[in-house]
Structure 1
């Protein structure tokens, strides 16, 4: 065998051994990371394996997060230097291989003052920015990092980046699922706070509909019937449709029901509600619009008060609409509010409609709102259930087929009937 052939065989053998070592390291690393989802633990495993394979005495895994770059794992007496080599590689995505005492790029400090340094970026799947960097330093034999070391470090970094990306994705999905479950629970609780069905009241026909834009909403309606057959009802809208809005609405419900059950007139009910909720609403940066009324089917008398809510409409049996307006600020805007009492007589066949702004402010494809004019045009001589269903359908049709509902929608209709 010639000397040239022997050298060639030796080189091939060495290359095969290097390749075998690389595959062994990557296989063992992959097996270690497969069932691990703690990001810092993943980084610790990777830097230790990379250091063992390349003969490095020190190592750093730096990862990006919302508050900046941090050291997820450190091996040996080393630290992450602000503005250093590791940060440079993490931010630029450029590999660095420096021999002992070889300076880095201008203005970039060494994370390790002595020895050779090899730093490679952690490139996630796709074309996203680097997740951080893997830095190895100070060969235990005092030598230099080779091109083979750099190749191995890049392979480790690739597996590490994929594991970190997977872990963060899993954590995000778990958090999203947890929030979804919490929202479903909150939505279920909120639905139980609404009446299961309108009350059966002699001399009145009542229907209601409430459709939140999200899992939980800020709209609310309720009915309370007293011993004299009078029915009190309320419709309200807390700004927003978040969990905070829903919690505030639950608080408002307790106060409103208490005041209505005590037989207080609508203006007094709103005054007590504002007094009880004002501080909480201010701290939460929320406010509540609410309309409260009490109706006596026997006499047709409708008493009402308005706290900054959309003025309800009454459609007379002979045609024509009457707007019910009364002075009063939204609950939570002013500490001291005088709610103006209002009254109107309903004749048999007259229908009262209460609604939230989710109906009139539904926006069509052309950017135009459904508006009060369309509301009045749709508010014809319909029975209460048909009326609320028709208005909701008309509002959604205006917004466009398949469009997302932008706000909570609540409708309440009360019609006076003839009594024996």
Structure 2
């Protein structure tokens, strides 16, 4: 009996020992599993910190956009230990999603045409080229859906996703993380990483990490875009300043000293570049040419036309004693080369310093004014004329005629562009012709320079110190008393 009891107790003791050993092994395995999981999380965090560091460095260095795109995709792949990745961004027109970076082994996230799918099986580079060049509608397929709905997703098996109408073998058994890139209210694009399920399966922690990557990538892209926009703006501003410097060189450096007359001119651009210009042209036989012009519009296009007009007029200035004939030659050369919606109003004046007779032609420009010292009154000089560029030749030359007039000692002629009379104050009221007449009558006794300075000062006062919406140019010519 005792032997049986001892045997039973021995068996029970052995069983307990075995159970304890098994429990211990399971506990050890659980501890090992936890350590491995902890190590995996630590490694993932290390990769994440490396990714964020690289993004920060790229922003600081102001890397090219293509470098930033590659860094985001390859960084996401590295952090999540993925086989491939792709980045689609909204194009500048806001009408499509453009592939900005597609890694070599990223699974296609779009429907593949049968021809491309078949070609891709034999030639992987052909498939990759298609994926890197094929833009999508904003609501097209999986990428469009994520972009529109602005929700990240885990796709367990890409081929089974109902948003693929023509799933191919390239999408079979592929697991995907995909999320929308946005910064504030601005939608930027979509980021995705892909892997074969046998190689990598994404879990809930991976999904949270991916969402952080998407958020940081969107922030980096927004900063990169802001840096690029600022850089482009600086470059444009520098180019405009250089163009403005060149344009200023084309204007008279000083008012010439003339026998029997004094002259003063001034140009004030509304923007960096001016669509107005004026010029003094020495002619043969002791004659002088004076031109004032206003190109429709402002900015770069107007400035280019201004330079062309100046060059053509100078090259034709001595071709005829008739200002109208010279303007006709300018129009024939310039009209075919400017846009249909552009034109140039001009006045070209020719006079001999030894006489009191002057001749001008007016091509659709604001009427010139003349203050008569003898009466103290201001007169308008009327002559017909069509703006340069509206007609290519015959009509322009038929209606644009010379006007010869006389200036007596002390008389003062004023030429100006419509930026003067059409200057608007804060209430939307125009400076107007009457103020110009009053200024001319008041200031002419003080000389040509006083007329220009005084009118500009009055316009500035009228505008309340604000910049004019249009270029301002004036020339005053006074006969010596």
Q: TM-score, normalised by structure 1?
A: 0.89
Paired position in structure 2 for 1:41: 67
Question: What's the offset of the Cα at 1:56?
Answer: 2.9
**Residue 151 (structure 1) aligned with residue 243 (structure 2):** no
Give the deviation of 1:212 after TM superposition: 1.0
Mapping of 1:13-412 within 5 angstroms? Answer: 16-33=38-55, 34-35=57-58, 37-67=63-93, 68-75=96-103, 76-81=105-110, 82=136, 83-100=140-157, 112-124=171-183, 127-141=184-198, 144-226=201-283, 228-262=285-319, 264-282=321-339, 285-317=341-373, 318-335=375-392, 336=394, 337=396, 338=398, 339-382=400-443, 383-401=447-465, 403-412=466-475
Which stretch has the larger CA shift, 235-244 or 23-32?
A: 23-32
- What does the per-residue CA deviation read over 1:170-207, in whole Å, with 9 as the maximum and x for residues that have no partner? 22222222211211111111111111111111111111
Q: Which residue number corresponds to residue 8 of structure 2?
A: none
CA distance in 1, matches of 2:165, 2:366: 63
Offset, 1:108: 8.7
For residues 163 and 358 of structure 1, the distance between their equivalents in structure 2, rounded to whole angstroms, comes to 45
Q: Structure 1 residues 291-300 or 342-351, which shifts more?
A: 291-300
Q: CA deviation at 1:302?
A: 1.8
Once residues 70 and 267 of structure 1 are traced to their aligned partners in structure 2, the CA distance between those partners, rounded to angstroms, is: 56
Q: Deviations over 1:278-310 (max 9, x none)?
A: 111246x42111001123343311211100000
Contact 1:62 1:80 in 2 (8 A): no
Aligned residues: 413
- Distance in 2 (CA, whole Å) between partners of 1:340 and 1:214 is 33
- Using a 3 Å threshold, how does the CA distance of structure 1 residues 26 and 244 change in structure 2: closer, same or farther? same
* Pairwise CA distance, 1:109: 8.4
Task: Report Cα offsets for 1:384-406 as digits up to 9, x if no partner.
Answer: 111111111222222223x2321
TM-score, length basis structure 2? 0.78
Preserved contact between residue 362 and residue 396 of structure 1 (Cα < 8 Å): no
CA RMSD of aligned residues (A): 2.8
> 1:123 and 1:278 mapped to 2: Cα distance?
49
> Which stretches of structure 1, 4 residues or more, deviate above 6 A after TM superposition?
2-12, 105-111
1:85–1:109: 8 Å Cα contact kept in structure 2?
no
Q: How far apart, CA to CA, are the structure 2 residues paired with 1:400 and 1:350?
A: 31
1:109 to 1:394, Cα distance in 2 relative to 1, 3 A: farther
Contiguous gaps of at least 5 residues in structure 1: none
Which structure has more relative contact order (CA 8 Å, sep 6+)? It is 1
Q: Partners of 2:279 and 2:66 in 1: how far apart?
A: 52
Tell me, in whole angstroms, the C-alpha distance in 2 between the residues paired with 1:288 and 1:39.
42
SS at match of 2:213: helix
Provide structure 2 residue ranges, at least 5 long, that are not aligned to the other structure.
1-22, 111-135
| Larger Rg over CA atoms | 2
The whole-number CA distance in structure 2 between the counterparts of 1:386 and 1:280 is: 39
